Homo-oligomer: A and B are copies of this chain.
Amino acid sequence: VLEAALIRARTRQQRHFEWLCDLLRIPSVGTLAEHHQDVERAAATLAGWLRDIGMNGVTLLPTGGPPAVYAEWLGAGADAPTLLAYAHYDVQPADPLEEWRTPPFEPTVRGDDLFARGASDDKSQLLAILAAAGCYLETSGRLPINLRLLFEGEEEQGSPHIADFIARHRERLAADAVLICDQAMADAQTPVITTGVRGMAYMEVEVSGPTVDLHSGTFGGAVDNPLNVLVCLLAALQDPVTHRVTIPGFYDRVRPVADEERALLARRALSDAEALALTGVPALAGEEGYTTWERTSTRPTLDINGIIGGFTQPGHKTVIPTHGQAKVSMRLVPDQEPQEIARLFSDYLHSIAPPTVRLEVRLQAGSHPAVVDPRAPAVQAAARAYERAFGASPVYQRGGGSLPIVHELQQALGAPVVMIGFGLPDDNGHAPNEKMHLPNFYRGIETVIHYLALLGLPEEEW
């Protein structure tokens, strides 16, 4: 069964390439209203292919936004494990168009790379799952395990409906493990398993004072300037020397990383030299007592993402403005809770704000951190699958960014979430000239074929 599927994957590369090009020609930009119909068309196209390869229960499920494409094959029996595989079919906008060497929705091959918006993020990775299932079903009429597929249509909008959706479809999504295909490898030879994502509490802070803009000559010195107060409040959130967040209770729930996992993560971690080169800063800085890779993955952070107030044009105007605003986001690690962190943040600022101003603090967006134990069988099976398809063991990384679906799925299904992917760091995801390295696309299909086979075997037979 496995062997037949692998042979099929190799003989049908042209068909898989054509699927990819067909999907990339549909500008499924979820954030833009003018592409609404394209998003629907992408979903319908996928549903057709899923039916073609023999998946069952193919359906477009309403979410409140673009539909989720669902399909299943549950013929492996109640004793066999069930995998839920996730990817997304929507893409980022293509702007700025003038920076594309070839049009973003006309897939173009240059060397081993296929250039188009969504090539890497996430259409080739979605098709790796779809094609792998097809290679089994079209050769053997069956899969090694039960499989559910979920292709989301609004990941690039921050998955605003995904938590509700998962809650409403818990039974339909029930699985023993979850595979998410939406990541990049360390390089073309080195696959990555992402064993965690950071959560987020994204806050908005507004300090207001005078009811009208005041002349700083007339009232300068008599009232607390909202901007003077705002910078004091924001400066009080973090120790500038140790870079520790000073919000009382902020670190209380931070779970230490076990030595074993730390060693695993350290094997191929972001080096200081890489971080310096990639950022262009004069020198790195971060939380005392931790390395750069820990600071960007296993430790929580606090960043001011935006600030505005008063006169910001060229020249000078001597105004005491009515108000000033800032956006502050904290990346969270297990077991920090976004709602609790938001409350601690707000309580702290309110406790130090002077009574001479009005302070408003809001949670703008939040998501939970999540980790998966690298020793979990579903993770180790992914490692073996990578080894067979790429001939190289994967490295383990904790992602520094946030992927709300990971926590939502873990909570709803009680299953480990395994994050893999076949993109490359220079794929220009979210940027002009996005590309997919085609050999990775084909190896990705083989990786998923191996993964399904491995999950169907007892660990001792891997």
Q: Are A301 and B355 neighbours in the complex by a CB distance under 8 Å?
A: no
Q: Are B220 and A301 neighbours in the complex by a CB distance under 8 Å?
A: yes
Minimum CB–CB distance for A28 against chain B, Å: 21
In A190-226, the 8 Å CB interface with B consists of: 198, 200, 202, 209-212, 214-225
Instruction: Indicate if A400 sits at the interface (CB-CB under 8 A).
Output: yes
Q: Are A235 and B224 neighbours in the complex by a CB distance under 8 Å?
A: no
Stretch from A103-111, A313-321, A414-422, A448-456 forming part of the interface with B = A313-321
Instruction: Indicate if A394 sits at the interface (CB-CB under 8 A).
Output: no
Instruction: Indicate if A368 sits at the interface (CB-CB under 8 A).
Output: no
Q: Are B317 and A220 neighbours in the complex by a CB distance under 8 Å?
A: no
Q: Are A216 and B329 neighbours in the complex by a CB distance under 8 Å?
A: yes
Bound together, the chains give a CA A413 to CA B200 distance in angstroms of 64
A228-B304, A281-B210, A310-B307 as given contacts; A221 in contact with B299, CB under 8 Å: yes
Instruction: Indicate if A232 sits at the interface (CB-CB under 8 A).
Output: yes
Instruction: Indicate if A305 sits at the interface (CB-CB under 8 A).
Output: yes
Instruction: Indicate if A327 sits at the interface (CB-CB under 8 A).
Output: yes
Stretch from A132-140, A356-364, A382-390 forming part of the interface with B = A356-364
Q: Are A310 and B305 neighbours in the complex by a CB distance under 8 Å?
A: yes
Partner of A317, one of B198, B296, B302, B305: B305
Bound together, the chains give a CA A401 to CA B202 distance in angstroms of 40
Instruction: Indicate if A295 sits at the interface (CB-CB under 8 A).
Output: yes
Instruction: Indicate if A53 sits at the interface (CB-CB under 8 A).
Output: no
A284-B223, A306-B309, A358-B282 as given contacts; A301 in contact with B235, CB under 8 Å: no
Q: Are A307 and B318 neighbours in the complex by a CB distance under 8 Å?
A: no
Q: Are A316 and B305 neighbours in the complex by a CB distance under 8 Å?
A: yes
Q: Are A211 and B327 neighbours in the complex by a CB distance under 8 Å?
A: no
Partner of A304, one of B281, B296, B310, B354: B310
Bound together, the chains give a CA A202 to CA B355 distance in angstroms of 28
Instruction: Indicate if A238 sits at the interface (CB-CB under 8 A).
Output: yes
| Complex copy number for this chain | 2
Instruction: Indicate if A395 sits at the interface (CB-CB under 8 A).
Output: no
Report B-chain residues with C-beta under 8 Å of the C-beta of A309: 304, 306-308
Query: CB-CB contacts of A222-261 with B at 8 A, as 1s and 0s?
Result: 1111011111101110101001000000000000000000
Instruction: Indicate if A283 sits at the interface (CB-CB under 8 A).
Output: yes
Q: Are B216 and A284 neighbours in the complex by a CB distance under 8 Å?
A: no
Query: CB-CB contacts of A274-290 with B at 8 A, as 1s and 0s?
Result: 01001111111111000
Partner of A218, one of B214, B320, B401: B401
A-B contact pairs, 5 of them (CB 8 A): A198-B217, A219-B400, A231-B235, A282-B355, A318-B402
Bound together, the chains give a CA A51 to CA B219 distance in angstroms of 42
Minimum CB–CB distance for A356 against chain B, Å: 4
Instruction: Indicate if A410 sits at the interface (CB-CB under 8 A).
Output: no
Instruction: Indicate if A270 sits at the interface (CB-CB under 8 A).
Output: yes
Instruction: Indicate if A331 sits at the interface (CB-CB under 8 A).
Output: yes
Shortest Cβ distance from A218 into B: residue: B400
Bound together, the chains give a CA A392 to CA B288 distance in angstroms of 68
Partner of A222, one of B217, B224, B292, B325: B292
Minimum CB–CB distance for A359 against chain B, Å: 10
Q: Are B219 and A304 neighbours in the complex by a CB distance under 8 Å?
A: no
Partner of A354, one of B217, B221, B285: B285
A223-B284, A235-B232, A279-B210 as given contacts; A310 in contact with B319, CB under 8 Å: no
Q: Are B210 and A280 neighbours in the complex by a CB distance under 8 Å?
A: yes
In A317-362, the 8 Å CB interface with B consists of: 317-321, 324-327, 329, 331, 354-358
Bound together, the chains give a CA A399 to CA B401 distance in angstroms of 53
Minimum CB–CB distance for A353 against chain B, Å: 10
Report B-chain residues with C-beta under 8 Å of the C-beta of A324: 307
Partner of A305, one of B235, B280, B318: B318
Q: Are B400 and A217 neighbours in the complex by a CB distance under 8 Å?
A: yes
Instruction: Indicate if A462 sits at the interface (CB-CB under 8 A).
Output: no
Q: Are A202 and B318 neighbours in the complex by a CB distance under 8 Å?
A: yes
Given contact pairs A209-B281, A220-B296, enumerate 13 new A-B contacts (beta carbons under 8 Å).
A211-B281, A212-B280, A217-B399, A221-B299, A221-B300, A221-B301, A222-B286, A222-B292, A222-B295, A228-B238, A230-B231, A283-B355, A316-B327
Bound together, the chains give a CA A365 to CA B218 distance in angstroms of 18
